[in-house]
Amino acid sequence: MNPTNKHTIAPHLEGRLAAYAVLAGVALSAPVVAKAAIVESGPVNINIPNTFAGVYINLLTGATGITPAAVPGWDIGPWGSSNLLSFFWNGTPANTAGGVAGTTTGPYLDLALGSFVSGASVFTASAASAQAAAFQTGGTHFLGFRFLNEATGIVNFGYAQFSTTDGGGFPATLVRYAYENTGAGITVVPEPSTFALFGVMAAGALGIRVWRSRKAA
């Protein structure tokens, strides 16, 4: 090995670390809205009661309640049936609310990171607990959704992160959600804080490598 190249950073690795470092700076300095049109709720940790009523949630305002009347403009209502987690959607106006599914009748899909939710996705408004089977096991799950943004009159697309346990999905928590407020599609990504931390680590690693390279020069 040539001693003068012993500590040289591989160009592609240095470029990748630099990119993460730049993105980290953007993420750390950005407000709750990660992009101009993407709204990120941040941690909301809404407990989902294991009851027929469940909880009604307005995705635009963040308001919650145990009856539709208590949450004007509500969009999604996670609930429990025989200890099985399921979802209920506002049916007014028709065909503006629902979750990403395999077909228009279900089942709901547990989306992987990197999945894209848009008008091209398939949605269902099924309230049947059998259609939510993918969310009735312990773990972290992502549900794609669409809803009517009452402030703009535009159908928005987004996703919600749920934390569930064994036993039909309960206890269940809606951890966070995000949506694109112009009607465009959105990609399922990790929590912004996690992404920012990874970027900071990358920036630190890049700094150390550059320092070693210069020291060895």
pLDDT digits (tens, 9 = 90+) for 195-211: 444 444 444 545 545 44
Domain boundaries, the chain: 10-31+196-216, 43-190
Cis amide prior to 93 (ω within 30 degrees): yes
Q: What is the 3-state secondary structure (H, E, C) of the chain?
A: CCHHHCCCCCHHHHHHHHHHHHHHHHHHHCCCCCCCCEEECCCCCEEECCCCCCCEECCCCCCEECCHHHCCCCCECCEEECCEEECCECCCCCCCCEEEECCCCCCECCCCCCCEECCCCCEECCCCHHHHHHHCCCEEEEEEEEEEECCCCEEEEEEEEEEECCCCCCCEEEEEEEEECCCCCEECCCCHHHHHHHHHHHHHHHHHHHHHHHHHC
In contact, 159 and 144? CB cutoff 8 Å? yes
What is the C-alpha separation between 44 and 31, in angstroms, rounded?
Answer: 16
Pick from 60-64, 70-74, 129-133, 191-195: least confident: 191-195
Q: Are strands 84-86 and 56-57 parallel, antiparallel or unpaired?
A: unpaired
Q: Give the pLDDT score at 214.
A: 59
Q: Are 111 and 101 within 8 A, CB to CB? A: no
| Entry pTM | 0.74
Instruction: Using pLDDT thresholds of 50, 70 and 90, give the confidence band for residue 216.
Output: low
What confidence tens digit (pLDDT) does each residue in 158-177 have? 999 999 998 899 999 999 99
